[in-house]
Amino acid sequence: MSDVLMRFQKLVIASGNAGKVAEFRAYLADLGIELLPKPDNIDVEETGLTFIANAHLKASQVAISTQEWAIADDSGLEVMALNGAPGVLSARYADTDQARIDRVLQELSGVSDREAQFVCAIAISDPTGKIFADAIGTCKGAIAMSPRGEGGFGYDPIFFVPNLQQTFGEIEPEVKAKISHRANALNLLRSKLQNL
């Protein structure tokens, strides 16, 4: 993989979400890639209808704007009983993390089917805006009856992982880094890069 990685020793992370940026830095720390934050003046409107479409859009536009290689993800929560909502609207489902959590819990009030999954689509673009590689990862779980734990960000306190009997808000960051949708997507991306 080192030959491929020589092409992008720097990657601009196309995200303003501090929690997401921190996770990317942790996941990619061993690759020796310098991760640069997205300039504040670049704002990409997520108009895609799928996670992968939005990841492509963000990676391409940030790469073109910065003239650097860029990595972007689009991720969110899909709740089966809500027909996959909030889905690509996960970050815009309400104005704050707490309001988004409250809305999901309210919409599931009295619903016994709590099956859900986190989805993460990741894309890397070259400075011309051409997508170099992409991957989609998921993590299956369920929606807890109420928030649990102070860790993570976003919907983490209500995303329950049955085999751990904990929410993403309760598990240690090191555990989350191995099982999360973002970790699974990045593992797939690494495999694709190794095979290029």
pLDDT of 150-173, one tens digit each?
988 899 999 999 999 999 999 998
Ranges 23-32, 88-97, 115-124, 181-190: which has the least confidence: 23-32
Q: For the chain, what is the mean pLDDT?
A: 90
Q: Tell me which residue range forms the domain holding 136.
A: 2-195
Q: What is the pLDDT of residue 35?
A: 84
Instruction: Indicate the pTM of the whole model.
Output: 0.88
Whose tokens are 């991760």? That residue is 35
Q: Is the pLDDT confidence value at 102 over 80?
A: yes
Q: What is the pLDDT of residue 25?
A: 81
Q: What is the pLDDT of residue 145?
A: 96
Q: What are phi and psi of 48, to 5 degrees?
A: -70, 155
Q: Is the pLDDT confidence value at 1 over 60?
A: no
pLDDT in tens, 33-89: 788 888 888 888 888 899 999 999 999 999 999 999 999 999 999 999 999 999 999
Alpha helices by DSSP H, listed for the chain, are 2-5, 18-28, 51-66, 97-107, 173-179, 181-195
For this structure, is 126 an active site residue? Answer: no
Q: What is the CATH number of the domain that holds 46?
A: 3.90.950.10
Q: Is the pLDDT confidence value at 148 over 80?
A: yes
Which is higher by pLDDT, 196 or 143? 143
Q: What is the pLDDT of residue 37?
A: 85
Ranges 18-27, 51-60, 97-106, 174-183: which has the least confidence: 18-27
Give me the number of domains the chain comprises. 1
- Return the percentage of the chain with pLDDT > 70, whole number: 94
Residue in 117, 46, 121, 47 with CA at minimum distance from that of residue 82 = 117
- List the catalytic residue out of 40, 43, 74, 113: 74
Check: CB of residue 145 under 8 Å from CB of residue 106: no
